[in-house]
Structure 1
Amino acid sequence: MAILGKLIKAGIDITSKLQFAEDSPGVSQEKQLRELINQAKNTAFGKYYGFEELLQVEDLISAFRTEVPIFNYEEMHAQWWSRQERFADITWPGKPDFFARSSGTTGKSSKRIPITKEFMGSMRAVGTSMINSLHDFDFPETLFESEVLMLSSSANLDENEQGFKEGEISGINVSNFPGWYDMFYRPGKEIAAISDWDERVNAIADQAPEWNIGAIAGIPSWVLLMLQRIIERHQLSNIHEIWPNFQVFASGGVAFETYREDFEKVCKTPITILDTYLASEGFIAYTCQPETMNMKLALSHGYFFEFIPFDERGMNESGNLKKDPVVLGIDEVELGQEYVLILSSCAGAWRYMIGDVIRFESLSPPQIKITGRTKFFLNVVGSQLSEEKMDKAILELAEENNTSINEYMVAAVKDEVGEYFHQWVLVSEVKPDGLAGKLDDLLKSANKNYAVARSKALKGIDVKVISKDQYTAFLAQTNKKGGQTKTPKVMKEEKMKLLLEFISQP
């Protein structure tokens, strides 16, 4: 592995020197859209919306926006994707090879996203671009001599009645790794195929001392639990006692900051945190520069992006998309502004609203930060709390109480007389006494709209604290344990009542 590590690092260094100047973001995106439309012009979707004619128009992007409406998942699935199991050439040439069951946090049931050969190729291409960007981090050769642990969902895919393989996108990716990946990929396909989360993590813990892990990728909550289990199993003080070359964690799926302190506790030496925007809909962005977790948009990898301002220009008072929202291109966005992301891709998604809200932290190159989900915007009585603002308040609350709070859930709930209050459930070892008042004050100082709501329609907040064991037990009961599972921070009232009922059981 030492010689291979030297070769890999040298290859990355050479690639960085040979890279040619990139097109401007606007030019790159127009090329992507033209290529996508050209590939799909003979599909049912392409014929219905006149893709052949669009390609003859001088201003392709404007014509595309005029002809093709914006779709949410329910609309895209009902009108188009539901037919792709039975018929070819619906929204993309041929039939998809797989369907990804989204591990997302909104909706009543899992989404099913078609996965095409071209889409798998685009994800690999973005991954290669991310690896090539490691040149700028100046990592030592020992990183490239070591192995990568990917804590994915199960690679044991289901087969539906139409003969298609289904699973979460990380499991689909792992199941399609070429044989030569076995040289450095851990835990290996055999362990990755174990469906039961606890059984899979126990197998990882058993094998852990035999591996030389330099990098880990996965959702922070589950990676942290895995590391803690390994440390407990082998009676370690920290994870570096068995993995001294562990230097990089590629995070994704949820915001990392509420986990940072606990990651520092299980590590002896500092590690580099890279953020990734890897969803069922695509590998959309990745950290490419040191000293930041901002993510560079993948502008030339089979995706065309549009951006709807996350304010009165794009959203109504209920927090839903307006009928005719302002839609901007990559060369029209502003620094520091939040946008709802709209995606067209080589999976046959067209003007598809993923549900994520992003903010531009840099325009050259375009780098973003995910600030939340459209459905994570707690605004039932005008409180206008974004996930980012709630994360900030929780981090400050944890710091004030000298503890850590990784996960939390909140819902707007009506009391006995029909008035709203916010019900919070924190996953922590902190004592609950006085937390409601402290959290209330932090939220008031973070958001003037919340302060106004608290003086009017929002009558109060209640805080309950549960242990990590209670939290994981609840996830297990709802079949949401492990892998790429993300729990909604903002819950519907009914879901919160189920959680409260569960934690009240003796």
Structure 2
Amino acid sequence: MPAQGLVNKVMELLMSKRMRQIESFMQSPIETQENVLFDILSHARNTEYGKLYGFNDINHYETFQNQVPIVTYEEFEPFIEKARKGGENISWHGKIKWFAKSSGTTNAKSKFIPISEESLENGHYAAGKMMFALYLNNHPETQIFKNKNLRLGGSSEIYQKYETLFGDLSAILIDNLPFYAELRNTPNKQISLMSEWETKMKAIADAVIKEDIGCLTGVPSWMLVLLNYVLNQTGKTHLDEIWTDLEVFFHGGISFKPYEENYRLLTQKPLNFYEIYNASEGFFGIQDQKDSKDLLLLLDNGIYYEFIPMSEFGSSNAKAIPLQEVEIGKNYAMVISTNGGLWRYLIGDTVKFTSKSPYRILVTGRTKHYINAFGEELIIENAEEGLKRACQKTGAIIKEFTAAPIFMSGNEKGAHEWLIEFEKRPENPEEFAEILDKTLQELNSDYEAKRYKNITLNRLKLNIAKENLFFNWMKERGKLGGQNKVPRLANTREFLEPLLQMNQ
């Protein structure tokens, strides 16, 4: 048997446990979720939060639904702060050592998400193994297991005020990896956990150029910056001139749509793209099919899911429903209870189901990451599809973008204002803007209604950003690095205005 065949045979044996786990929850999704709920409740019944909301008395989902409130981060923060200060048995059994720091995407306030040992081992790490198991299942001839994984993570810091530690989620995952897993990743832990982005980028490039890289994992925007830097440093045109066995990019954190064409130009032979859906709060979904971007919802890694229909979100009668009550094609706000001690927590993401057998989803946006200044309810999914079509029809390639409302003033009607940094500019920006505007009307009936004969909204306004505008803006805000994201859509002009000023 060839060496590669032997490697894959060994990996099949190692990954078989994960495939059995996946097949089990695909076949029995509702039973699996019920088991998860009562398992995590049992682990937290004697905590401060568990006693407050009577976890010991919960024997049915309906009791859980009625007794435990749905909370935002701000509402749950007092319990997190107690745990960060070293408190034990606050919302999860024992003492939480690690907290994932996230600045969020809609405001600058830092969030600290508790990371328990269970959420590390049975959540994030188990899901990572599922990711590789699914890829091997789809590509039995893969060579990624004989080569290294180029990972792009965040910085790590120790919070000095309290005994507990915090850092980017990626840093926490890297810092706690067992030594045998660390051997297959590059760059090493010391470089991966460097704080200063530009120094780190050079160190990573120096470390990985001579490695045999088979796969990439990271956030598309920052990975693209790194890969372009590597090409510049080596004088090569394509990545497969440097890494001949490069075959897949596992990406997550932000939508891949605006970046896909950029990545396709980076290699001569086709590169596989697999999306993952993970966050500080948990690992939720993995692309499990070669030819579909739908994400398999992970039902057996310590997370219990509920969903609020976006048509009701924010209203006084809004109610979360369990998995068995969701409908295909509807937009939902996701609510999670986890083995990290989060309870009926509004993560802020919106999803829609594309399948119920098995349960597959698409991430459609953020509960706070949309434009609805005029009742148009434009979500990120609409924006990304509109940009994709405008690029296809004009030959443009987008690097970064953001959009916000132009509010009505006097007799002047409202509009949406876009700021786009292009990798390749359209020859006719007005044509690009027209295509984008018309596509948004096709995709979103509320936007179409507001645009009808310019009754409420004028046609969108397009601004073209200077080269590296978004990079420089993020740098100025101290937000460089893989865990920080450019705000795409906002209901205010808080992000757009400073960018426009820098663009003058």
Shorter-chain TM-score range = over 0.9
The aligned residue for residue 31 of structure 1 is 35
Distance 1:75 1:412 in 2: 29
Q: 1:287 to 1:445 in 2, by over 3 A?
A: closer
What is the deviation of 1:11? 2.1
The alpha carbon displacement at 1:174 in A equals 0.8
CA distance in 2 between partners of 1:26 and 1:142 (Å): 36
Evaluate the alpha carbon distance shift between residue 104 and residue 30 of structure 1 in structure 2; reply closer, same or farther with a 3 A threshold: same
The residue identity in structure 2 corresponding to 1:420 is: G
Q: Using the alignment, how far apart are the partners of 1:196 and 1:131 within structure 2? A: 30
CA distance in 1, matches of 2:383, 2:257: 12
Instruction: Tell me if structure 1 keeps the 8 A contact 2:83–2:90.
Output: yes
Indicate the larger mover: 178-187 or 342-351.
178-187
Of 3-12 and 64-73, deviating more is 3-12
Matched, 1:421 2:422: no
Distance 1:176 1:16, change over 3 A: closer
5+ long unaligned stretches in structure 1: 316-320
Q: Contact 1:240–1:267 (CA<8 Å) still a contact in 2?
A: yes
User: Structure 2 counterpart of 1:215, which letter?
Assistant: C
Q: Does 1:364 align with 2:357?
A: yes
In structure 1, give the amino acid aligned to 2:11.
K
Does the residue aligned with 1:392 lie in a helix, a strand or coil? Answer: helix
Question: Matches of residues 26-425 of structure 1 in structure 2 within 5 Å?
Answer: 26-54=30-58, 57=59, 60-78=60-78, 80-86=79-85, 87-121=87-121, 122-154=123-155, 156-311=156-311, 314-315=312-313, 321-414=314-407, 417=410, 419-425=413-419
Q: Secondary structure at the match of 1:291?
A: coil
Whether the aligned pair in 2 keeps the contact of 1:423 and 1:462 (CA below 8 Å) is yes
Contact (CA 8 Å) 1:361, 1:369: kept in 2 or not?
yes
Secondary structure, in 3 states, of the residue corresponding to 1:105? coil
Deviation at 1:18, TM superposition (A): 6.1
Work out whether residues 466 and 503 of structure 2, in 8 Å CA contact, stay in contact via their aligned partners in 1. Answer: no
Q: Which of 442, 447, 461 is 2:444 aligned to?
A: 447
Counterparts of 1:107 and 1:469, CA distance in 2:
22
Q: How far off is 1:207 after superposition? A: 2.4
Query: Is the contact between residue 218 and residue 484 of structure 1 (CA under 8 Å) also seen in structure 2?
Result: no
Alpha-carbon displacement from aligned partner over 1:28-71 (angstroms, at most 9, x marks no partner): 111111011111000011001111111xx3xx111000001110
Superposition deviation, residue 255 in structure 1 = 1.1
1:430 aligned partner? 425
Q: What secondary structure is seen at the aligned counterpart in 2 of 1:375?
A: coil
RMSD: 2.1
Conserved? CA contact 1:341–1:357, under 8 Å: yes
2-side partners of 1:340 and 1:18: how far apart?
A: 30
Distance 2:9 2:190 in 1: 28
Q: Distance in 2 between matches of 1:34 and 1:10?
A: 32
Greater shift after overlay, 427-436 or 407-416?
427-436
2:245 & 2:8 partners in 1: Cα distance? 15
Whole-angstrom distance in 1 between the partners of 2:354 and 2:206: 42
AA aligned to 1:461 is: L
Contact 2:8 2:140 in 1 (8 A): no
How far 1:206 moved relative to its partner? 1.7
Aligned residues: 491
Q: Which moved more, 1:453-462 or 1:244-253?
A: 453-462
Q: Structure 1 residue 281: deviation in Å?
A: 0.3
TM-score by length of 2: 0.92
Contact 1:377 1:384 in 2 (8 A): yes
The percentage of aligned residue pairs carrying the same residue is: 29
Q: Structure 1 length as normaliser, TM-score?
A: 0.92
Tell me, yes or no, if the aligned pair for 1:220 and 1:254 is still in contact at 8 Å: yes
- 1:456-477 per-residue CA deviation (whole Å, 9 max, x = no partner) reads 3324422111144122111101
Post-superposition Cα deviations, 1:447-491, rounded to whole Å, max 9, x if no partner, equal 221122123332442211114412211110111212121111013
The AA in structure 1 aligned to 2:324 is: D
Give a deviation string over 1:114-173, Cα, whole Å, max 9, x none: 11111111211122222222232124252210111111112x323230122111111111
Q: Please give the secondary structure, in 2, of the residue aligned with 1:289.
A: coil
Asked whether the 8 Å contact 1:103–1:486 carries over to 2, the reply is no
2: CA distance, partners of 1:174 / 1:16: 21
Would you say the 8 A contact 2:19–2:130 is kept in 1? no
Judge conservation of contact 1:5–1:141 (CA < 8 Å) in 2. Answer: no
Aligned partners of 2:84 and 2:99 also within 8 Å: no
- Partners of 2:49 and 2:172 lie apart in 1 by 26
In 2, the alpha carbon distance for the partners of 1:367 and 1:137 equals 17
Q: Is the 8 A contact 1:285 1:298 kept in 2?
A: yes
Structure 1 letter corresponding to 2:145:
F
